[in-house]
Amino acid sequence: MKNAGLMVMPAGFFLVAAALLLFNGSTLRFIFVLCGLAVECMGLAFAVRAHMASRGEN
């Protein structure tokens, strides 16, 4: 589960890279970059959640 969350994070980066390549206008770029960051945060949250589930195992 943690690995799945971490694999989502590069997908967010690809959105950010796409924003640079596809758009010239600053507003669209900004929105796309924010969406990319949101996807990365989702992946991170997923990984954190998986880590929390293992609480007390040590």
Partner 1 sequence: MDPYTALPLPQSAFVLALCLVLLSPLALAGVALINTGLGRSRSAAQAMLGSLTLIAVATIVFAVIGAMFAYGETGFTFTISGKPWNWIGAGSFALSGFSSGTVQTQLSTLAQFIGVAFAVLIAWGSGADRFRMEAGAAVAAILAALVFPMLAYWVWGTGWLAQLGLNYSLGAGFLDTGGAATIHVLGGLSALAIIWIAGPRRGKFPKEGLSTAMPGHNAVYVLFGCLLALVGWLAWNMAGALMWADLPPTELVVTAIDTILAASGALAATFIVTRIRFGKPDASLCANGWLAGLVTSSACAAIATPFEALLAGLVAGLITPLLVELLELFLSIDDPSGAVSVHAVSGIWGLLAAGFFASQQGQVLAQLVGIAAILGVIFPLVYFLFWLVNLVLPFRADADGERIGMDLHELGGSAYPEFVVHRDDSYR
Q: Are residues 2 and 54 in contact, defined by beta-carbon separation less than 8 angstroms?
A: no
Q: Are residues 47 and 6 in contact, defined by beta-carbon separation less than 8 angstroms?
A: yes
Q: Rule CB under 8 A: which residues touch partner 1?
A: 2, 6-7, 9-14, 16, 20-21, 26, 29-30, 33-34, 36-37, 40, 44, 47-48, 51-52, 54-58
AA letter at 14 = F
Q: Shortest distance, CB of residue 20 to partner 1, whole angstroms?
A: 5
Q: Shortest distance, CB of residue 30 to partner 1, whole angstroms?
A: 6
Q: Are residues 46 and 9 in contact, defined by beta-carbon separation less than 8 angstroms?
A: no
Q: Shortest distance, CB of residue 15 to partner 1, whole angstroms?
A: 8
